[in-house]
Structure 1
Amino acid sequence: MTIKRLVAAILLATGSNSVLAEESFTVQDIQVEGLQRVALGAALNNLPFNIGDTVTDFALSRSIRTLYSAGHFDDIRVYRDGNTVIYRLRERPTINNIEFKGNKDIKEEQLNESLAGNRIQVGEPLDKTILKNIENGLTEFYHGVGKYQAKVEVKVTYLPRNRVNLEFAFEEGDAASVRQINIVGNQIFPNEELLSVVESKQDMPWWRFWTSDRYQKQTLQGDFEKINSYYLDRGYLRFNIDSSQVAVSPDKTAVYVTMNVTEGEQYNISEINFVGDLIGQDEVINAILPLQKGQLYNGALVTFTEESIARFLARFGYANSKVRTIPTIDDDKKEVALTISVDPGKRVYVRRIDIKGNASTKDEVIRRELRQMEGAWLSNDSLELSKERLQRLMYIEKVDFATSPVPGVDDLVDIGFTIKEQPSGSFNAGVSYGSFQGLSFQIGVEQNNFLGSGNSAGINLNTNKYQKSVTLSYTDPYYTLDGISLGGQVFYSDLDYSGTSSNLEAYNRRSYGVGANVGYPINERNRLNFGANVSVNKINQINEYDQLRHFRAVLLDASNPDGGYDFTNFELSTSWMHSTLNRGLFPTAGRMMNLSLRVTTPNSDLQYFKTNFEAQQYVPLSNDHQWSFRAKFELGYGNGYGDKDGYDYTLPFTENFYGGGTNLRGFENRIIGPHAIFRSTSSVPGVPDPIGGSIAFPGDISNDSYQVSQRSIGGNAMAMLTLELITPTPFLKEENRNSVRTSIFVDAGNVWDTEFDINRYANLVQLIASDRDPALIDYSDPSLIRATAGISVQWISPMGPLTFSLAKIIKKYDGDLQENFSFNIGTTF
């Protein structure tokens, strides 16, 4: 082939616009040489002409630019042989592998993401021209975080078949420290006061290892803003940072920062005016306005005012309102007049709400909790309330929402709710171990989100060393569309506290029954529940301790004193719940209060009532809620009403309150509370009987004796307080924060018996059978407070809910048994 002409691409690269007079010709053929990976069709598609078109030599040279723009070639040359156009190409090498070495400050995920934005990724052609820019950009990043000695080098290794490996070699070095920060021009506030509000620290001593003096450019820029705000919040409206300099030491290990400032004088607010449209809410906006005429100007308060008005307008659908404050400064009087401009914009409506992430839960279950409706105006309050209600569900771990404008329309948005579910049930099959119940075997299912319906259903069989029980339950929280719930349960239980490990006085109880409940929502945060229950009970093998005398008197069959106690109760219950908690499990903000009352009807064998009050408050201590404070207070009281055969009804011992274990960590489970007292009567010798013995007769009761049991029987009154500092869990990834909780706690409280009379034993002799027998104390005294402190870790693990507690007893009384370490394991799905 004879080469007729070489088209000078060099002229195009130098930007020459001069073109010699050229003759045009008709392209009869196009040939492409050097293709390996790029298909011939793909290369021809990038040419600005086809076979049969009439072109000039200048058009051929411009086609080189077109081919370069495709991004596949390193070198392009074009030749003409008569009416045949020939392209000789050298393809860019394909990236075979990317490797990073020496990087610590930048994670590989961040690097890969940044490189992908520049089309540097495995399988893509390599454009070597941008590698230098990447090197410079990474070096600039290290300089921005104070590592002035950092170097970044990209090594290219060529492989067969036109492939390359890229190795990014990092030499990060040490960060420069802030050796000194100088503020020049400040007279009102000393350097120490101003530097106390900034994040950058200077020349920290070695023992302040928890505080860093590392220089970072972005941190320093934020510090300038903090100093500026510090002055503006104190009325110095003319404050200004005139200039700033950052000098790097010759060895690049230290920086010196200098700020030149002008403080000015303080200004007071002379007047406050509004312009714009207040959507008819002038009186309300003026009433909530935090700014007042005559007060010192405060920049933070001005910003808060703007945000408050914008949030208020967003309640009425004006989601894109613009609120800005225009100051008019009178330098002579040192006053500033504020004009608040309010532009509500168009009212925004919701076109569609999408739900994502709910793999198990049905859409309708999520939507029934929403208070932002499709077709209604957009309300931030309704969105936040919707999120709050969803996060209170026990089967929802996290909820996020985002609004997106509808393209081409300025008053419509779509809302997307993203749901993260969590285990909503428990599969009690297999073996679990707890420090109280010991080894236990369970089988059963409990589901808070049955088949994704949001309903609770369960069948639970439980057996351990003191209990055998089965319970069937079902609750529909939305039996009606307006949130009225309906539920019921059937149960059977066989309790045997004859062993020593239960810490309870020995008895055996069998019971079965059925119940139903209905709930009614008062508003978004308050709910009433009503229930009815019937239970059939039989108690036998009971140690007849002295506190049972009233219970024994109203139930015991005189003709069958060994027959045990049989009784049937008909219960009515009501409760009120108030909740503003931000989550159902592991909340970090909000409060919860619950007041309940159960009472048996007069036709029951036992007449009593029992009431409980519980209040919890969570106060976040950090913006990310990793630090939070929790206070929990619980009160309980129960007693009998009416009498039978001259004996007053009392609260049956099976309904008593107990302390220890979960509510007083550090004490053994159910050990806190009154202990059983066994009274022994004295006797005097009698007349001889026919077989040589003698018949004893009761003696003077003042000579009776008693023994206090090591076991608790509980009391009819209780008060418990928990103070808890919720802390971040060390070495925990972000995605697991909502399933693990670590806390430092203090528990305090007492269980007592309001019916106990210690004077009944004042003149009697106490028998001490062993050194473990406790001394008698006044079990009616509520001031006998116990207290513990410790640390707790709770984990909703794949194998089940798991709780560890390590506690130290601060205050205890005779008969209280300690349990410094406790744990419990179950199985959930």
Structure 2
Amino acid sequence: MKLRQLVAAGAIASSASLANAATSEQTQFVVEDIRVEGLQRVALGAALTYLPVEVGDRLNSFRVSQAIRSLYSSTHFESVEVLRDGNTLVIKVAERPTISNIIFEGNDDIKDEQLQESLDGNGIRVGEPLDRTVLTSIENGLKDFFYSIGKYNADVSAIITPLPRNRVDLKLLFEEGDAAEIRQINIVGNQEFSDSELMEDLELQFDTPWWDFLSETRYQQQTLQGDMETVKNHYMDRGYLRFNIDSTQVSMTPEKDGIYIALNVSEGEQYTISGVELVGDLLGNEEYIEKVLPLTKGELYNQAEVTYTEEFIAKFLGRFGYAYPEVTTVPEINDEDKTVKLTLSVDPGKRIYVRRINFNGNTVTADDVLRQNVNQMEGAWLSNNLLESSKSQLSRLTYMKEVEFETTRIPGQEDKVDVDFNVEEQPSGSFNAGIGYGDRTKLSLQAGIQQDNFLGTGKRVGVNLSTVSYQQSAQITYNDPFFTIDGISLGGSVGYSEFDGSDFNVIQYNSKRLSVGANVGYPIDEINRINFGMTYSNVELYNTGYYEQTEQFYNQFRGGDPEAPIKYDSYLASVSWSRNTLNRGLFPTAGSSQRATFSITTPNSDVNYFKTVFDTKFYFPLSRDNKWSVLARLRLGYGNGYGDINGNDQILPFTENFTAGGADTLRGFENNTVGPRGVQLFTNGRLIGPDGETYPGDASDAQIAISPRSLGGNAMALGGLELIVPTPFVDEDMDNSVRTSVFFDVGNVWDTEFDYNKYKDLTQANTQNAGRLIDYSDWKQYRSSAGLSVQWISPMGPMVFSFSKAIQEREGDDARFFTFNIGQTF
């Protein structure tokens, strides 16, 4: 802006001097007519409005200078010339060209949107006149930016291409080059701490090993300023109150591709705290604050603890509505005995109340739904704790992408503010529809929808219909997370399915199941919740194949007819506890979640069993922006029967067994294929089973056959580690919609009731596709895999693409390199 003003002033002064010369040689005259020449886009009437001279005015040198200055200030003209033709005032102008198009080329470090925003601030946009003087300052400003990030060979050129009708194309051509690498960092004057100790926490590094890809070896001026503050804090946190960085030298190689940095420091001596005093209004909480203060007489001075103390007192007062307190630490330094007395001056200010809470950015979700998740109340004190907890609760909603808040003071009312929550929504459900054909599945049709924010009400509604060769099912689910104003939730589900295991990756059986369930949840606090549920199921099993592991369950119901269908009713009661501190509902990068569920059938059920499952996930951010993070997850499960029927001990129905394999359990293995397989027993070529024959212990020709299909087990342990990394070639705006991770999965499903000793010495009749018999009761028969996973929150719902390599597999396992799933993320 300054450059533009100087150029404009120079042009005005030059024109004014010409005008003075003209008027000094000629007699001043009264203007009888005014003629403007050179107008193309600007209308004559518009040009005359900028001219402070009218017909009948006497023209002199001052009036000429005033006219030129006024015409230039209109920003429409590139040059202005004032002439006299008799008593006619002639104004010759050259209009500034209109910008027809703006093109950016070669810019990698600066986005087009950022560049256009900068140009808009300087009045350079399509359709506006081009001010060439501003371009020079923009070129220099962009060069300064590249220099600040170590690109000293960078160049920026503005290329103007004339077009017909006084228009131009403007191209900003960037030659960024490579950033200068840091060759060496030297710290001079340090005696108490070595260079390696001081540089350990610096963001700028040099001479790093090839595998340390997180290190920043490119020079950046802002990063250096932050590292200087890090060095200072290192000393100040250890009592060196007089520490100072005396000077900083940054030099580069002649080729401008290498940087040498030197910091000259004065360490000084260590100071201890001689006393701590609190002054001001602490709202009667002096005794409590004094007890929790980390600052203690006789200890070394610590700047971090001083800052923490100031922030703690400010946040503590913020709980009671004093949102803008002033907490200042005044040190009294005694250089003779190397002590410092700290006086904390506290001014709480006025208590602040919330006038109104507003929501911006929610185009689908109703304000009332968002307000249900906000703990801060209108008309109440402004509490920073309540605002932060409200942000966390909103962020955990699966249909929220970003949540931020700000407080705005109301003019004329010093004790009132408005709170504005700015939210960005994202797809809140999944949709699936498809038709396919396969050797095993034959013709398949499926359709379903699940919406976590149905019609913007915050309620979860799901409808799923599916028909494939192995299953036909229909299910409706519903959940209202705020059935009452206190946050009590209410939900339910109705489902029906028909299943044929012979056409899927499980043992042979057919089933029909009708289930109806309801659940209610109670909030314990902001992060803990407890849920109670009851589900009625009516199950019919028929066309059952014979497997050793299923006979004990079948024998509880069969009478004299081994071909008769098995029917049973169950009433499953459940209780679950959940805890959630994740920073987001989808694609979290920090925090943890835990869920423990215990379910048991009531004694009046036809089958008596229990199941318990525990899930936990921990996210550990590796970078300040949370783009790099580590996920550690664990899932444990166990189930079994209780009581007996007709003298037979009850066991967990095999239809309730745990299974593994697939995107949400063990990637790299086909869905539901990991774990125990069905065992069949033969003698004399005949199957020993429901026809009445039993295994003769002394039969020398007894054999076993292992089914290639999975049976599942009553125990499960699954875990994994994932390194979450920035997704390459994806815009930053998509960070919360696309996730890439490198993973390692490990786990197993086993059957604690399986008797391996009963079958281990028998001859195995087949090995094709099934593998050898192993001890299915051994939890150590684990599987593991590693690979790359990409997850995308698409308009149709979550999609997961996994490329996996099985590391530890067992004979007969169905390992898969590529898997694709819709509708589930983790």
TM range (shorter): 0.7 to 0.9
Residue 579 of structure 2 corresponds to residue 578 of structure 1: yes
Equivalent AA in structure 2 for residue 653 of structure 1: F
Q: What residue is the counterpart of 2:353 in the other structure?
A: 349
Q: What residue is the counterpart of 1:792 in the other structure?
A: 789
Q: What residue is the counterpart of 1:713 in the other structure?
A: 711
| Cα distance in 1, alignment partners of residues 602 and 116 from structure 2 | 71
Q: What residue is the counterpart of 2:435 in the other structure?
A: 431
Pick from 317, 336, 341: which aligns with 1:337? Answer: 341
> Which deviations, in whole Å up to 9, do the C-alpha atoms of 1:386-419 show, x marking residues without a partner?
2222222222222233333334443333333233
Residue 385 of structure 2 corresponds to residue 381 of structure 1: yes
| Cα distance in 1, alignment partners of residues 159 and 462 from structure 2 | 63
Q: Secondary structure at the match of 1:307?
A: helix
Shift of 1:46: 4.0
| Cα distance in 2, alignment partners of residues 328 and 411 from structure 1 | 34
Q: What residue is the counterpart of 1:802 in the other structure?
A: 799
| Cα distance in 1, alignment partners of residues 313 and 612 from structure 2 | 44
Pick from 750, 768, 786: which aligns with 2:748? Answer: 750
Q: What residue is the counterpart of 2:535 in the other structure?
A: 533
Q: Secondary structure at the match of 1:389?
A: helix
Closer, same or farther in 2 for the Cα pair 1:406/1:60, shift >3 Å?
farther
Shift of 1:654: 1.1
> Which deviations, in whole Å up to 9, do the C-alpha atoms of 1:240-260 show, x marking residues without a partner?
222334445556555554443
Pick from 299, 317, 340: which aligns with 2:303? Answer: 299
Residue 704 of structure 2 corresponds to residue 702 of structure 1: no
| Cα distance in 1, alignment partners of residues 411 and 436 from structure 2 | 56
| Cα distance in 2, alignment partners of residues 827 and 228 from structure 1 | 48
| Cα distance in 1, alignment partners of residues 405 and 657 from structure 2 | 46
| Cα distance in 1, alignment partners of residues 770 and 112 from structure 2 | 65
Describe how 1:315-714 pairs up with structure 2 within 5 A: 315-431=319-435, 440-499=444-503, 502-558=504-560, 560-661=561-662, 662-680=664-682, 701-703=697-699, 705-710=702-707, 711-714=709-712
Equivalent AA in structure 2 for residue 806 of structure 1: F
**Contact 1:682–1:698 at 8 Å: present in 2 too?**
no
Closer, same or farther in 2 for the Cα pair 1:430/1:813, shift >3 Å?
closer
| Cα distance in 2, alignment partners of residues 180 and 449 from structure 1 | 55
Equivalent AA in structure 2 for residue 796 of structure 1: I
Q: Secondary structure at the match of 1:555?
A: coil
Q: What residue is the counterpart of 1:267 in the other structure?
A: 271
CA RMSD of aligned residues (A): 3.9
Q: What residue is the counterpart of 1:5 in the other structure?
A: none
Bigger shift: residues 812-821 or 335-344: 812-821
Q: Secondary structure at the match of 1:261?
A: strand
| Cα distance in 2, alignment partners of residues 79 and 202 from structure 1 | 66
Q: Secondary structure at the match of 1:719?
A: strand
Shift of 1:462: 0.7
Q: What residue is the counterpart of 1:733 in the other structure?
A: 731
Q: Secondary structure at the match of 1:96?
A: strand
Q: Secondary structure at the match of 1:554?
A: coil
**Contact 1:723–1:747 at 8 Å: present in 2 too?**
yes
**Contact 2:357–2:421 at 8 Å: present in 1 too?**
yes
Equivalent AA in structure 1 for residue 545 of structure 2: N
> Which deviations, in whole Å up to 9, do the C-alpha atoms of 1:119-157 show, x marking residues without a partner?
233322233333443343344344434444544444445
Bigger shift: residues 779-788 or 586-595: 779-788
| Cα distance in 2, alignment partners of residues 462 and 567 from structure 1 | 24
> Which deviations, in whole Å up to 9, do the C-alpha atoms of 1:768-789 show, x marking residues without a partner?
2345554444433444444333
Closer, same or farther in 2 for the Cα pair 1:270/1:729, shift >3 Å?
same
Q: Secondary structure at the match of 1:586?
A: coil
Equivalent AA in structure 2 for residue 702 of structure 1: D
Shift of 1:469: 0.6
Equivalent AA in structure 1 for residue 248 of structure 2: S
> Which deviations, in whole Å up to 9, do the C-alpha atoms of 1:298-324 show, x marking residues without a partner?
223322332333333333333322323
Shift of 1:174: 5.3
| Cα distance in 1, alignment partners of residues 246 and 608 from structure 2 | 82
> Which deviations, in whole Å up to 9, do the C-alpha atoms of 1:407-443 show, x marking residues without a partner?
4443333333233222223333223699997873202
| Cα distance in 2, alignment partners of residues 678 and 178 from structure 1 | 69
| Cα distance in 2, alignment partners of residues 207 and 760 from structure 1 | 52
Closer, same or farther in 2 for the Cα pair 1:223/1:561, shift >3 Å?
closer
Closer, same or farther in 2 for the Cα pair 1:255/1:597, shift >3 Å?
closer
Taking structure 1 as the reference length, the TM-score comes to: 0.86
| Cα distance in 2, alignment partners of residues 816 and 269 from structure 1 | 67
Bigger shift: residues 101-110 or 585-594: 101-110
| Cα distance in 2, alignment partners of residues 205 and 787 from structure 1 | 30
Bigger shift: residues 474-483 or 506-515: 474-483
Pick from 814, 820, 825: which aligns with 1:823? Answer: 820
Closer, same or farther in 2 for the Cα pair 1:498/1:49, shift >3 Å?
same
**Contact 2:706–2:772 at 8 Å: present in 1 too?**
no
Q: What residue is the counterpart of 1:3 in the other structure?
A: none
Equivalent AA in structure 2 for residue 307 of structure 1: E
Equivalent AA in structure 2 for residue 670 of structure 1: N
Shift of 1:72: 2.3
Q: What residue is the counterpart of 2:191 in the other structure?
A: 187
Q: Percent identity?
A: 53
| Cα distance in 1, alignment partners of residues 522 and 210 from structure 2 | 62
> Which deviations, in whole Å up to 9, do the C-alpha atoms of 1:343-365 show, x marking residues without a partner?
33233333332222222222222
Closer, same or farther in 2 for the Cα pair 1:628/1:101, shift >3 Å?
closer
Q: Secondary structure at the match of 1:301?
A: helix
Residue 226 of structure 2 corresponds to residue 222 of structure 1: yes
Q: Secondary structure at the match of 2:345?
A: strand
Closer, same or farther in 2 for the Cα pair 1:122/1:718, shift >3 Å?
closer
Describe how 1:168-247 pairs up with structure 2 within 5 A: 168-170=172-174, 172=176, 175-178=179-182, 180-201=184-205, 214-247=218-251
| Cα distance in 2, alignment partners of residues 158 and 701 from structure 1 | 100
> Which deviations, in whole Å up to 9, do the C-alpha atoms of 1:436-463 show, x marking residues without a partner?
9787320233222222222222321112
| Cα distance in 1, alignment partners of residues 476 and 124 from structure 2 | 60
| Cα distance in 2, alignment partners of residues 393 and 269 from structure 1 | 47
| Cα distance in 2, alignment partners of residues 674 and 204 from structure 1 | 48
Q: Secondary structure at the match of 1:481?
A: coil
**Contact 1:9–1:64 at 8 Å: present in 2 too?**
no
Describe how 1:105-116 pairs up with structure 2 within 5 A: 105-116=109-120
Aligned residue pairs, count: 803
Report which of the two structures shows the higher radius of gyration computed on alpha carbons: 1
Q: Secondary structure at the match of 1:220?
A: helix
| Cα distance in 1, alignment partners of residues 205 and 549 from structure 2 | 68
Closer, same or farther in 2 for the Cα pair 1:73/1:816, shift >3 Å?
closer
> Which deviations, in whole Å up to 9, do the C-alpha atoms of 1:483-531 show, x marking residues without a partner?
22222222211000113xx332100001223222222222222222222
Equivalent AA in structure 1 for residue 798 of structure 2: P
* Gap regions ≥5 residues in structure 2: 1-11, 687-691
* Gap regions ≥5 residues in structure 1: 1-7, 685-695
| Cα distance in 1, alignment partners of residues 569 and 208 from structure 2 | 74
Q: Secondary structure at the match of 2:555?
A: helix
**Contact 1:434–1:824 at 8 Å: present in 2 too?**
no
Shift of 1:536: 1.8
Equivalent AA in structure 2 for residue 756 of structure 1: F
**Contact 2:203–2:215 at 8 Å: present in 1 too?**
no
**Contact 2:53–2:63 at 8 Å: present in 1 too?**
no
Shift of 1:337: 1.7
Closer, same or farther in 2 for the Cα pair 1:70/1:320, shift >3 Å?
farther
Describe how 1:5-154 pairs up with structure 2 within 5 A: 32-46=36-50, 58=62, 61-76=65-80, 87-100=91-104, 103-154=107-158
| Cα distance in 2, alignment partners of residues 478 and 770 from structure 1 | 55
